Structure 1
Amino acid sequence: MVDWPAGVAPMAPAAGYGRDPDLTAPKVPWPLTLTKAQRATVDMLGDMILPADAASPGAGTLGVGAFIDEWISAPYAQQQADRATILAGLAWIDAQARVLHGGDFATGTPAQRAALLDALTVEAPGADMVRPVAFMDRLRNLFVLGFYSLPEGKADMGYIGDQPTEGPYPGPSSDARAHLSALLTTLKLPAGKV
């Protein structure tokens, strides 16, 4: 078992979006973090964590690694905490693969990579595996966040919220109105016309 890396190189100073980003002309105003090899590993992990199926391609194939790269490159506190976790985790997974199989994670066989990934999904990790398991938990959460924000992810879960309603809007159902009225009464708020 390899030790968790002592630390990662600090990010170069970068400006954030500011208080009023121009959402009509999206851009990434900071330099990205991941190297080409790290991006390849992240994309490979994406296809292992959220693999292709009949409904959609895998997360790595869809490029969710680009989302993760942008996320961990952002100069905000949460993203910088994730940056430290993800970069250390990628270094750890490569070092662990070298100890177990003589090469980086990406060069291992599918069975070797799967076994290493499975070791990071335990509910109660030993003391030496707490950080690696936390890395994989956070990476998995970021894959899900990125995947289901894409059109393919939305289609995969059957999300149709972006669809316009044809004709006049029918308004909420009678069940929804009754639920709202009961909730407003419970909260001691005026029901008005619902």
Structure 2
Amino acid sequence: MTPSRRQTLQWVMAAAALPLARWTSPALAAGPGTPAPFEVVAWPPTLPPPPPAQGYGRDPNLMEPKVTWPLTLSTAQRATVDMLGDMILPADGKSPGAGALGVGGFVDEWISAPYPVQRRDRELLLGGLIWLDAQSRALHQAEFTAITASHRAALLDALTVETPDARLAKPVAFMDGLRYLFVLGYYSLEEGKADMGYIGDQPTPGEYPGPTPEALAHYAGVLRELGLPTD
């Protein structure tokens, strides 16, 4: 699936409203920890600067979003993100994998947006994709998408440690950030909502039965905490 820019932009707007969009990886503050299982290549010292772009302004029309910024990722980087999406949120009997749903388009739109959170994520994710290919070449003489499935899995396993040592702190933070963006994007889609069994508001047939005893008890407890009458 290759979503249109309109679709990915709507996807980004839905995800940005969720609390996870403000999540920060603890790996960036890591110190001595799990030793790296290989010689770690250096994190890229510089990144291409983001091109100038305008934001939405104060009152965006989210029903008809207009694309106001250029995208960041190359075709090869988009393919890498989609591959990682299918590895981290793979297909099962109920739902397709995140990569098959075009999560690379969502990530590209997210890190290309000219806002502080997205600019911060751009540095981490773009640097991480460059690092991932460099590390793959150092270990297996090929970029990440071209190495074997077992080598890809082993490399990702090295980036899932809870307390990485200093050499892997940024790569682990990159993978953490990418994983959380996959979750944001995937569960903002209808397929993701169906996967978790979310059905939204449903009409109640017949006469309204009123609140449940549990709801009434919770309501009374809140009133008591506020010092308000419960009658």
Interval of TM-score (by shorter of Structure 1 and Structure 2)? over 0.9
1:157 Cα deviation after fit: 0.3
Residue 27 of structure 1 aligns with which residue? 66
The equivalent residue for 1:71 is 110
Q: Deviations over 1:41-99 (max 9, x none)?
A: 00000000000011100000011111111110111101000000000000000000000
* TM-score between both structures, scaled by the size of structure 1: 0.93
Match in the other structure for 2:75: 36
Contact 1:47 / 1:61 at 8 angstroms: preserved in 2?
yes
Query: TM-score, normalised on structure 2?
Result: 0.78
- With over 3 angstroms needed to count, the CA separation of the structure-2 counterparts of 1:102 and 1:29, relative to structure 1, is same
Describe the shift of the 1:111–1:161 C-alpha distance in structure 2 as closer, same or farther (beyond 3 A). Answer: same
Separation in structure 1 between the aligned mates of residue 145 and residue 128 of structure 2, nearest angstrom: 14
Provide the residue aligned with 1:134 in structure 2: 173
- Separation in 1 of the partners of 2:206 and 2:109? 40
Residue 2 of structure 1: SS of its match in structure 2?
A: coil
- Give every structure 1 segment of 4 or more consecutive aligned residues whose post-TM-superposition deviation is greater than 6 Å: none
How big is the shift at 1:164? 4.3
Shift of the alpha carbon at 1:148? 0.5
What are the Cα deviations for residues 111-162 of structure 1, in whole angstroms up to 9, with x where unaligned? 0111111110011111100000000000000000100110010000000115
Higher relative contact order (CA 8 A, sep 6+): 2
Equivalent pairs, count:
192
What is the letter of the counterpart of residue 73 of structure 1?
Answer: S
Match of 2:127 in 1: 88
Contact 1:28 1:70 in 2 (8 A): no
CA RMSD of aligned residues (A): 1.6
Inter-CA distance 53–175: structure 2 relative to 1 (3 Å threshold): same
Q: Quick check: 1:188 aligned with 2:195?
A: no
Aligned to 1:121: 160
Give the gaps of 5 or more residues in structure 1.
none
Tell me how far apart the structure 2 counterparts of residues 64 and 120 of structure 1 sit (CA, whole Å): 20
What amino acid does structure 2 have at the position aligned with 1:52?
A
Residue equivalent to 2:185: 146
Bigger mean CA offset, 34-43 vs 13-22: 13-22
Matches within 5 A, 1:137-176: 137-166=176-205, 170-176=209-215
CA contact under 8 A between 1:97 and 1:103: conserved in structure 2? Answer: yes
d(CA) in 1 for partners of 2:206, 2:56: 38
Among 5, 13, 16, the residue aligned to 2:52: 13
* Structure 1 Cα separation of the partners of residues 205 and 66 of structure 2: 33
Partner AA of 2:93 in structure 1: A
Cα pair distance change 1:167/1:25, threshold 3 Å: farther
